[in-house]
Structure 1
Amino acid sequence: MSSIDYLTMHKEIKAGQTAPLYVFYGSEAFLMEKMTNLIVKQTLKEEERDFQFISYDMRETSVETGVEEAETLPFFGSNKVVLLQHCYFLTGVREKEKVEHNLKALEAYCQNPAAETVLILSVPADKLDERKKIVKALKKEGKVLQAGAPDQKSMEKWIDSQFKQKKQSIDPEAKTELMKRAGFNLNMLSNETDKLALYASEGEVVNRKDIEALTPVTLEDNVFTLVDRVISQRTDEALRIYYDLLKQKEEPIKILALLARQTRMIIHVLYLKKQGYSRQKMAGQLKLHPYAVKIAEEQGRNYNEAILENSLKELASADFDIKTGQMDKEMRLELSIITLSKHQYFSA
């Protein structure tokens, strides 16, 4: 067997095609948890789950114990699911584990997994150590899911699938706005799609107005919009957003930090773009979601090097003035927003 994407694996398990052995790894704990819950739901009856779903933390329990549990026949019902969490022995990361792991026991299990058991190994790490014999065995005999941050196309497909399950759909403009507001957090996206699905009727198409009515705007999203208004020299609108943030009790220092972070992000994206990097490669280099790179790239079209450098200097000056008590923080940031939005180096 081999690596498989989230949507394909989800479809297989929903269709009852559950494999005896899975490996989940990556930074998206939400995806790994969601897939584990789906396997449990599809494999065990509701009354069996308290007894036949067993979880071990491999930082505290030996892998032999997990394998023995997987090999033991179910006491109640006909199947069981065993989850081995934090399997850092599959990576090159050196964790301070309290136990020694006999990986030969797991290697032997891979060759002959128990028919009644679904064994899941999960590790919150971006890479597996492909040189290790146990990793090769697991990839050969099991199904592997890399639960990393999805790219924009995968995220859109995932959102579509969420609404399709509820016999609904979402139009492209609403989908873009939802991703913008919910950010790149799949857990938040899942919560928002559930809320929107409850709001809409069966067969209905969710539109942008629904998103605006139900999905809150995050501070980060407000900062994205604030940067857009500053770039386009719409000073009044930029200040209105800033005043709204103050009414919501957002700290000027935090707003300033996010403005500086977004400016630096634009600088890095424009530099890497000049070097010929694709969005996906830029995302990997900067450890950002591709959608965040897209936003920075679009915002950077109205920038040149001079304004980027001057913007950072102005924000650094504001930070210094605030932290040294030379000027009221709310007033100082307001002055920066006015200064940046009226800057002579902005394109018309």
Structure 2
Amino acid sequence: RQVIIVKEAQDLSRTIEKLVSYAENPQPTTLLVVCYKYKKLDKRKKLYKALNKEGVLFEGKKLYDNQISPWIIRTLKSQGYGITQKASHMLAEFLGSDLGKVSNELNKLKLILPKGTEITPEHIEENIGISKDFNNFELQNAIGEKNKLKAHRIINYFSQNPKDNPIVLTSALLFSFFSKLLQVHSLSNINDKSVATALGISPYFSKDYITAARNYSMRDSSKAISLLRVMDLKSKGVDSNAIPSGDLLKEFLVKIMD
């Protein structure tokens, strides 16, 4: 079949209805793909109704942050690769929800590693440059476990590499972590399944939140969120004189873990 792709169709919003006559009588030898990005095609228009009747309408919604790690696992599995839970979480935490960026990094790994490989944190560290021991995921776990030594080691590493470990990203992750702890404390029955369902995470990570909930009460979690708010403001220069990000994180650790 002849394939015709209309890219950036959202920029044709004033004239796109001209496709109605074709959409109502499409050529059987042609596959027409209309890529409407960042916006939604108006469901009230004739074009939407014609496409829905004669073709296929697919809406690719942006994934939430907690859906990125499972997406990485599914994508690699479909391509003949495996990946550990920790490695997938490292990629999700470091690369965010931009699937284009995530896909590019996965393609790099597939060029280097043979099909059938289970991708590990070591592979991520060697080929993408994300430290398997000093990252926000490990900091979150160290704080959750109240492992002061490990947490301070990670903060020291962040202090020496501030560009690769921006405090804005760290504070956002920790805010999400303690917000989820409040959700855990609100559960009537706390177990792997109930925590995973409530937080929308893999049961593999439930134990981390259950452990943290034992170490931090609901009041402690609320205090942590309040401290993170203050830290975020200070990191942006509000009521502070350019305090180094490492010092702000150390102050937070002392106040929340002691």
In the alignment, the residues of structure 1 paired with residue 26 and residue 103 of structure 2 have an alpha-carbon distance, to the nearest angstrom, of 33
User: Residue in 1 aligned with 2:191?
Assistant: none
Distance change >3 Å, CA 132–CA 144, structure 1 → 2: same
Identity across the alignment (%): 19
Distance change >3 Å, CA 155–CA 171, structure 1 → 2: closer
Say whether residues 1:141 and 2:58 are aligned partners: no
User: Residue in 2 aligned with 1:308?
Assistant: 221
Unaligned residue ranges in structure 1 (runs of 5+): 1-42, 44-78, 90-96, 283-289, 343-348
What CA deviation, in whole Å up to 9, does each residue of 1:283-321 have, x standing for no partner? Answer: xxxxxxx669x9699547524321122113333444566
Larger mean Cα displacement after TM superposition, 237-246 or 267-276: 267-276
User: Residue in 2 aligned with 1:35?
Assistant: none
The answer to whether the Cα contact below 8 Å between 1:231 and 1:341 also exists between their aligned partners in 2 is no
Say whether residues 1:157 and 2:61 are aligned partners: no
The answer to whether the Cα contact below 8 Å between 2:72 and 2:88 also exists between their aligned partners in 1 is no
Distance change >3 Å, CA 190–CA 239, structure 1 → 2: same
What displacement does 1:266 show? 3.5
Distance change >3 Å, CA 278–CA 142, structure 1 → 2: farther
User: Residue in 2 aligned with 1:85?
Assistant: 8
Say whether residues 1:241 and 2:170 are aligned partners: no
In the alignment, the residues of structure 2 paired with residue 280 and residue 139 of structure 1 have an alpha-carbon distance, to the nearest angstrom, of 34
SS at match of 2:97: coil
Say whether residues 1:262 and 2:176 are aligned partners: no
Query: Residue 197 of structure 1: which of 83, 94, 110 is its match?
Result: 110
Larger mean Cα displacement after TM superposition, 270-279 or 222-231: 270-279
Query: Residue 15 of structure 2: which of 101, 115, 131 is its match?
Result: 101
What displacement does 1:260 show? 3.5
Unaligned residue ranges in structure 2 (runs of 5+): 189-193
In the alignment, the residues of structure 2 paired with residue 297 and residue 125 of structure 1 have an alpha-carbon distance, to the nearest angstrom, of 37
Matches within 5 A, 1:249-288: 249-250=162-163, 254-255=166-167, 257-269=168-180, 274=186
- Counterpart amino acid of residue 229 in structure 1: A
What CA deviation, in whole Å up to 9, does each residue of 1:99-136 have, x standing for no partner? Answer: x3362x32221121234543222222465443443212
What displacement does 1:192 show? 2.3
Matches within 5 A, 1:294-305: 298-299=208-209, 301-302=212-213, 303-305=216-218
Q: Tell me how large the CA RMSD over aligned residues is.
A: 4.0
Larger mean Cα displacement after TM superposition, 177-186 or 113-122: 177-186
What CA deviation, in whole Å up to 9, does each residue of 1:140-172 have, x standing for no partner? Answer: 21223322245454442212223x3xxxx2244
Distance change >3 Å, CA 176–CA 326, structure 1 → 2: closer
Q: Give me the TM-score of the superposition, normalised by structure 1.
A: 0.54
SS at match of 1:145: coil
What CA deviation, in whole Å up to 9, does each residue of 1:23-55 have, x standing for no partner? Answer: xxxxxxxxxxxxxxxxxxxx6xxxxxxxxxxxx
Higher-Rg member (1/2):
1
Query: Residue 118 of structure 2: which of 177, 189, 206 is its match?
Result: 206
Distance change >3 Å, CA 236–CA 124, structure 1 → 2: same
Q: Give me the TM-score of the superposition, normalised by structure 2.
A: 0.70
The answer to whether the Cα contact below 8 Å between 2:146 and 2:257 also exists between their aligned partners in 1 is yes
- Counterpart amino acid of residue 4 in structure 2: V
SS at match of 2:100: helix
- Counterpart amino acid of residue 255 in structure 2: T
Say whether residues 1:228 and 2:141 are aligned partners: yes
What CA deviation, in whole Å up to 9, does each residue of 1:224-279 have, x standing for no partner? Answer: 32222122221221121112122223399x41x33442343245445667489997
Distance change >3 Å, CA 275–CA 101, structure 1 → 2: farther
The answer to whether the Cα contact below 8 Å between 2:196 and 2:206 also exists between their aligned partners in 1 is no
In the alignment, the residues of structure 2 paired with residue 311 and residue 133 of structure 1 have an alpha-carbon distance, to the nearest angstrom, of 52
Distance change >3 Å, CA 118–CA 275, structure 1 → 2: farther
SS at match of 1:210: helix
In the alignment, the residues of structure 1 paired with residue 205 and residue 117 of structure 2 have an alpha-carbon distance, to the nearest angstrom, of 26
User: Residue in 2 aligned with 1:341?
Assistant: 257
Distance change >3 Å, CA 84–CA 177, structure 1 → 2: closer
In the alignment, the residues of structure 1 paired with residue 144 and residue 243 of structure 2 have an alpha-carbon distance, to the nearest angstrom, of 25
In the alignment, the residues of structure 1 paired with residue 242 and residue 91 of structure 2 have an alpha-carbon distance, to the nearest angstrom, of 38
In the alignment, the residues of structure 1 paired with residue 255 and residue 3 of structure 2 have an alpha-carbon distance, to the nearest angstrom, of 64
Size of the aligned set, in residue pairs, is: 238
What displacement does 1:196 show? 1.9
> Quick one: higher RCO (CA 8 Å, sep 6+), 1 or 2?
1
